């Protein structure tokens, strides 16, 4: 079976997603929903990008569609668990995190999610579940922090090299 070529917008969105530029992902992909109506990766990107930008309603729709198209995509469970928390459905979030832990007993995000639930009173959960806290419970937050740290390091090295160059000449 021939491998399907990625569209230019999916290639660009993939890079933006890896770099943590979730607003750009949405801008690149939103106009192409019809063309990608059967592409689980499209809905995966749209779901997580929506989640990271605080659009929980669209995130839910996109992640559910991605799960329909690819029921074996375990990465979707993280986002769906956080959405259950936002809907004040902690039991469903726990069920998903436990499902993740069945395949990986040391999964940091699932453990972090369960610990978050243990640490808050259910009456205070919505107040404590800020967008930042939601992001902390997702696996892609680590990628974003790493990317930002790489850029900071890169610019620091460039600055030092420029200063050395100016000092020497």
**Is residue 133 domain-shared with residue 163, that is, in the same domain?**
no
**Is residue 91 domain-shared with residue 117, that is, in the same domain?**
yes
Query: How far is 76 from 152, CA to CA, in rounded Å?
Result: 30
Domain count, the chain: 2
Residue 138 lies in a domain: yes
CA neighbours closer than 13 Å in the CB half-sphere of residue 82: 32
> In this structure, are residues 58 and 25 in contact, taking their beta carbons and an 8 Å threshold?
no
- Residue 163 pLDDT grade (very low, low, confident, very high; cuts 50, 70, 90): low
Residue 95 lies in a domain: yes
**Is residue 82 domain-shared with residue 95, that is, in the same domain?**
yes
**Is residue 155 domain-shared with residue 127, that is, in the same domain?**
no
Query: How far is 131 from 68, CA to CA, in rounded Å?
Result: 26
**Is residue 74 domain-shared with residue 27, that is, in the same domain?**
yes
Put residue 104 in one of left, alpha, beta given phi > 0 → left and psi -120 to 50 → alpha.
Answer: beta
Residue 56 lies in a domain: yes
Residue 13 lies in a domain: yes
Residue 126 lies in a domain: yes
**Is residue 87 domain-shared with residue 132, that is, in the same domain?**
yes
pLDDT tens by residue, 106-129: 999 999 999 999 998 878 888 888
CA nearest 86: which of 139, 130, 31, 27?
Answer: 130
pLDDT tens by residue, 52-68: 999 999 999 999 999 99
**Is residue 55 domain-shared with residue 87, that is, in the same domain?**
yes
Which CATH number belongs to the domain containing residue 56 in this structure? 1.25.40.10
CA nearest 52: which of 31, 24, 94?
Answer: 24
Query: How far is 113 from 138, CA to CA, in rounded Å?
Result: 9
- Residue 156 pLDDT grade (very low, low, confident, very high; cuts 50, 70, 90): low
Note down the domain range covering 131: 8-142
Q: Is 68 helix (H, G, I), strand (E, B) or coil?
A: helix
Residue 2 lies in a domain: no
- The pLDDT value recorded for residue 158 is 61
Query: How far is 44 from 47, CA to CA, in rounded Å?
Result: 5
Query: How far is 86 from 82, CA to CA, in rounded Å?
Result: 6
């Amino acid at each position: 079976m021939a491998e399907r070529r990625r569209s230019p917008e999916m290639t660009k969105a993939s890079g933006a997603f890896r770099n943590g530029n979730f607003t750009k992902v949405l801008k690149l992909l939103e106009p192409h929903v019809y063309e990608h109506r059967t592409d689980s990766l499209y809905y995966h990107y749209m779901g997580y990008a929506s989640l990271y930008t605080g659009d929980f309603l669209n995130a839910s729709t996109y992640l559910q569609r991605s799960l329909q198209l690819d029921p074996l995509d375990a990465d979707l469970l993280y986002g769906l668990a956080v959405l259950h928390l936002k809907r004040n459905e902690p039991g469903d979030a726990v069920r998903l995190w436990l499902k993740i832990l069945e395949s990986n007993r040391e999964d940091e995000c699932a453990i972090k999610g369960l610990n978050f639930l243990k640490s808050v009173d259910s009456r205070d959960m919505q107040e404590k579940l800020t967008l930042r806290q939601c992001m902390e419970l997702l696996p892609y937050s680590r990628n974003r922090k790493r990317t930002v740290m790489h850029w900071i390091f890169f610019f620091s090295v460039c600055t030092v090299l420029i200063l050395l160059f100016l000092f020497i000449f």
